[in-house]
Structure 1
Amino acid sequence: MQYEKIGEHIVTPLKVCQSHAGYYIGRLDEYGGPFSRNSKEYFKNLEEAKSNFLNGNWTPRDTGSIKISLDYNLITEFRNVVNEHEFYIGLLRDSNGKNKWNLVCSCMDWISVVAGSLHKLYDFNSDKFTVTLNLMQYITSVDILSEAITQLYRVIKGNDLHPLKTDKSIFKQENSTDDNYFKHLRAAFGIHPINLTSKDGTNKNNNRYFASWTSNGWFYEGTFSVVLYSNDPYEEDSVLELDLWDINKYALSRYNLLYDLISEVKIIINKHIKKYLEVPIYITGEPIDQLEVLKTENSKRFGNHDGYWWEIDIICKLIKSSSEEIEKLDLQIVNGYRNYLISLIPEIKIKLENLEYNDESLGDSYSFIPNQEYIITLDNNVEKIFIEYAMYYNQF
């Protein structure tokens, strides 16, 4: 038999080899033991392996650096885009009766955690127990990243059909998408290894499978395996392998879907702006009627309870208050303050038409309008509100 020298190792040329996981293209050492697996694929039988080897129908495995690097600037860009316009946040806060903004915030936080620290979890040189736990934490982190991206698609596009939903290019499983096969690896390598319904992620029967602890692979750095035991006394044990290179490619491909989500958010925002900038707000009649129109328009443009919802609501409440509710104040002061509040209506209208909002978008008027937190401290007592703010306004 011919041998070659790779570094300090004496090995065979590439040939068909066999392990518990199946047939593959690789090399043996001078003693006949496994040295490397060079094919990405495993083959079902010897004949298939030989045929693909001779015809060159096999895929070389990646063997470069397996440490992952997720560009943290990408999640920062996404966060900036969704936070740029107050109306987009408001619309998500009350979307068909659901607060989807809270979900978006949670997803952004956890994606930031994974993007910022996944590479720090790479420590697989310890004993087998520590390696098992470290790998479980690593896979769980990637799972959180993937699920967060899926959740963002549900919020932003209305479904979880992201562009890679049916992709099989990473794990190259004929009968399983990358998403489904990753879930199988996640289950076997730590999430619920003692209660598996399948040994390959697809073929389900009445059998149950139980995974061993994780062992470092002997092909390349970053390969791991577990033995799968069956509750069927006549079924032989099998080996399930995991290549960290593939896990990292899976993580990176899902993380990069943020580019698609950023584009989608910008499209939604631009459509919303174009739609409402072209629609003027017509208000006529009494101030109370005008405020009701503005409240409706505010809900369309900024969502319920966002934008100028609070300002419109408190102005309406104060204008409608009766003289009996504010006996302790001079009527001239009360009417002066009411007239001031009414004078803000045209300004709010213009701000709504222009989809313009920020914390001080009504200028100095904010000094004379009680905020929501302060109203709570006054127990929603109209007289107390007038005493506090009408007197304050009267001084200017």
Structure 2
Amino acid sequence: MKNVISDDKIRDFRDLINSNSNFVYQIYKNKGGKNLFNLVCSCLDWITVSVRHLENAPELDKNIDTKSMQVYSLISSIDLISESIKQLHRVFVNENNIPFLGEKKCFNERLFSNEDDNEYFKTIRACFGAHPVNLNQSKSKRFASWPFESHINSSDLCVHLYSRDINEEDLLLNVNINELLKFLVIRYDYLDVISDRIESLFSKYRKDLSDQMIETKSDPLEQLYILRNESKKRLDNDYYNREIDDLIMIFEAEVTDPELVQIADNYKESLLPLIEEIKSNLQVMNIVDLENDSIVRVRSNLGGQLNYELSKFYSWVYGDRDDPLLSYYFERFNEVTKGKFNFTSCDEINLTFLKAKLMLAE
């Protein structure tokens, strides 16, 4: 069993789910009023648990009792993977059906010939451990016997299915480990089909939004208001949202100090390429790190000197609570800049934020 499947596939699938600017999360966290992303996460977790269990499962024991429970553990792990694959199929491929419906590829000499692979696996699961004392088979109530090894066929384990009806013949159900593993591999490999489907969905999503032109405004602040709405529509990326919100604070700030007006105007002008880059990236749905990121414009060595004060200051800016030490941070800013920017609690928060950016850009 150790070499039958590998967790590489589910690890790659998890990476895909978390890639493309969290496309899956953004689309499926509220799909028709249902949080299907939670379902996806549950499937990923239980497939991972089951695959890693199977990778590390010991060889079947010679003791029949231990072997029986090992086989039941194998069947349960396969069932977890199979059910998770069905759910992922419903989320990404088709919510109205299940994969492999009607297929009869995995089990030879099946006791119930009318059952497809999905149904027959459920029969094996029920009889070999899930609920062997409460079965409904062949139109009668039945109960599975103690598992035993057959000496007349190639099966790995067998059970008799006793009937509740008097004079009803027992049935013999065999299980073959290789057939179970074939059933497992076919379903685990279906992750490749689902992966292709997700890639296709993302490509279509990108194209549809790329075809919707973002309105262009000559005024930077008006353009930023538009970009804020467009960013929410286009994957709602936290990084882009924060950059846009920071830029809005900067361009909303009105500088009245004559000595700072030109400095502020020059700084705002230096941000225009960043606004254009954000717009261009959102337009083509290329949500990548920004080359003109505002962090690049921190040219002062004050960032290190005021590391503690700045971290607390930004927590105040982005948070929703007052900081009793805010006046101290302003005193430190004024001290190291010799009062050039005149930090004061009387200023609006966006003006204070702009002053901090000007201080660090010198």
TM score, norm. by length of structure 2: 0.70
Residue of structure 2 in register with 1:246 after alignment: 179
Residue of structure 1 in register with 2:36 after alignment: 100
- 2:240 is matched with which residue: 297, 305, 308? 308
Cα gap change, 1:314 to 1:115, in 2 (>3 Å): same
Matches of 2:231 and 2:14 in 1, distance apart?
24
- 1:182 is matched with which residue: 99, 108, 121? 121
Aligned: 1:193 with 2:193: no
Q: Secondary structure at the match of 2:234?
A: helix
Q: Can you give the 5+ residue segments of structure 1 that lack an aligned partner in the other structure?
A: 1-65, 324-328
Q: Is the 8 A contact 2:254 2:351 kept in 1?
A: no
Residue of structure 1 in register with 2:90 after alignment: 154
Q: Can you give the 5+ residue segments of structure 2 that lack an aligned partner in the other structure?
A: 299-309, 324-344
Aligned: 1:70 with 2:9: no
Deviation (angstroms), 1:127: 2.5
Cα gap change, 1:376 to 1:234, in 2 (>3 Å): farther
Matches of 1:386 and 1:219 in 2, distance apart?
84
Residue of structure 1 in register with 2:192 after alignment: 259
Root-mean-square deviation (Å): 4.1
Q: Secondary structure at the match of 2:5?
A: coil
User: Structure 1, residues 275-330: CA drift from partner, whole Å, max 9, x if none?
Assistant: 3334331143866654453344334321x56563454456657877999xxxxx99
More strand by share: 1
Matches of 2:125 and 2:214 in 1, distance apart?
54
Aligned: 1:228 with 2:228: no
User: Structure 1, residues 212-246: CA drift from partner, whole Å, max 9, x if none?
Assistant: 33223335676112222333344333222211111
Residue of structure 2 in register with 1:91 after alignment: 27
Aligned partner of 1:226: which letter?
A: V
- 2:285 is matched with which residue: 341, 355, 373? 355
Aligned partner of 1:228: which letter?
A: L
Q: Secondary structure at the match of 1:140?
A: helix
Count of residues paired in the alignment: 317
Residue of structure 2 in register with 1:165 after alignment: 101
Alignment of 1:22-37 (within 5 A): none
Matched residues, percent identical? 28
Cα gap change, 1:282 to 1:250, in 2 (>3 Å): same
Q: Secondary structure at the match of 2:320?
A: coil
Aligned: 1:134 with 2:73: no
Matches of 2:20 and 2:87 in 1, distance apart?
21
Matches of 2:151 and 2:124 in 1, distance apart?
18
**Larger displacement relative to structure 2 (98-107 or 136-145):** 98-107
Deviation (angstroms), 1:143: 0.7
Aligned: 1:276 with 2:206: no
Matches of 2:297 and 2:174 in 1, distance apart?
65
Matches of 2:317 and 2:73 in 1, distance apart?
45
Aligned partner of 2:119: which letter?
A: N
More helix by share: 2
TM score, norm. by length of structure 1: 0.65
Q: Secondary structure at the match of 2:115?
A: coil
Residue of structure 1 in register with 2:149 after alignment: 216
Q: Is the 8 A contact 2:86 2:99 kept in 1?
A: no
Alignment of 1:368-379 (within 5 A): 374=315, 378-379=319-320
Deviation (angstroms), 1:267: 1.8
Cα gap change, 1:251 to 1:294, in 2 (>3 Å): same
Q: Is the 8 A contact 2:85 2:191 kept in 1?
A: yes
